[in-house]
Structure 1
Amino acid sequence: MKEIKRIFLVGFMGSGKSTLGRRLRTEMGWDFLDLDDVFEEKFKVKIKQYFSVHGEDAFRIAEKEVLKDVLDKERVIIATGGGTPCFFDNMDVMNNNGLSIYLKLSVDVLIGRLSGGKQVRPLVAGKSGQELRDFICAKLQEREFFYNKAQVVADAEVLGVEAFVQIIEASGKLI
């Protein structure tokens, strides 16, 4: 049986990675890290600002470094950025160092979640309803190949925290 020391939550922005991660922390008694928060703490700058000053390529390189930084932690649930699994070998790194779970949601649910948070998320800021739908559809088409490499693909629309705990426990021996 596989030993699980880390859980990586992957999925599109707005899929509930951070929310689920905090709830799993409470249920499981493990630590929780949001990779975006770890990034901002390490580089002493907001991701939006880093992105605009240095560009996406530099951001993705720095993000990979932050992902590797958290691999020394154990008994931790890690919410990744929406694009984290899609660059370099990040998905393989996660699969080789823990249990990866893709929180899968429909386009309509993602639109509902993201339309209220456009100010907070620079990639969707200022997008109208149709523009937001087109953006989500295009990005999901690019990213789902990587998300589907997760060891667990879970319907995040119907599963509650207890179901995720059961999935995690059934996936291996928790360290």
Structure 2
Amino acid sequence: MEIKRIFLIGFMGSGKSTLGRRLKTELGWDFIDLDDYFEMRYQTTIKQYFAENGEKAFREAERKIITEVATREKTIIATGGGAPCYFDNIQVMNQHGLTIYIKLSVETLAARLSSPKQVRPLIAGKSGNELLNYIGEKLSEREPFYDQAQVIADGDILGVDGFVRIIQASGQLMK
């Protein structure tokens, strides 16, 4: 199979954007952070879009941009944490590219998301056990979608080199 694009999926805070930027350098491909793309396309922050329009409208707009980027070649796409879980988004991603689920434990995710630098509408005001419980519940809801990825990789163990090896073993990268 020729790989023309790579979709990085996983819970918020799993490192999709960080990995995507590193893979861009390693593979020499373009990189799109879907959250940044959303904000550029709709000329507003995701937080503001949520506040003004609600999650349902956000998910519909997010689906539109997934179909927009799904045809770009030689592109690594870091999706939002919920993106694969709505409509037929995971099927669209699987049909148009290699999907990689960056899997992390609830504890690792909570540690990453408790940082004051993390400003995310769905976890605003949550900390400690409340954050752990929220992540655990959301992760159990989302994992059936994440588990449909073509590759499931332990984000606690693999470094960028490991992800590059997985990608290369999954098929021919488009040149």
Q: TM-score range, shorter-chain basis?
A: over 0.9
Looking at structure 2, the residues matched to 111 and 149 of structure 1 have their Cα atoms a distance apart, in angstroms, of 23
Structure 1 stretch displaced more, 143-152 or 109-118: 109-118
CA contact (8 A) 1:119 1:125 kept: no
CA contact (8 A) 1:118 1:126 kept: no
CA contact (8 A) 1:64 1:90 kept: yes
Unaligned runs of 5+ in 2: none
The Cα shift of 1:72 comes to 2.6
Percent same amino acid among aligned pairs?
64
Normalising by structure 1, we get a TM-score of 0.97
Normalising by structure 2, we get a TM-score of 0.97
Unaligned runs of 5+ in 1: none
Q: Which residue of 1 aligns with 2:71?
A: 72
Measured on the aligned residues, the alpha-carbon RMSD in Å equals 0.9
Q: Which residue of 1 aligns with 2:40?
A: 41
* Secondary structure of residue in 1 paired with 2:60: helix
Q: Which residue of 2 aligns with 1:147?
A: 146
The Cα shift of 1:44 comes to 0.5
The Cα shift of 1:117 comes to 3.9
CA contact (8 A) 1:4 1:99 kept: yes
Compared CA separation, residues 30 and 120, structure 1 to 2 (3 A): same
CA contact (8 A) 2:71 2:96 kept: no
Q: Which residue of 2 aligns with 1:22?
A: 21
Looking at structure 2, the residues matched to 159 and 119 of structure 1 have their Cα atoms a distance apart, in angstroms, of 23
Structure 1 stretches of at least 4 aligned residues deviating more than 2 Å after TM superposition: none
For the pair 1:170 / 2:169, whether they are aligned, the reply is yes
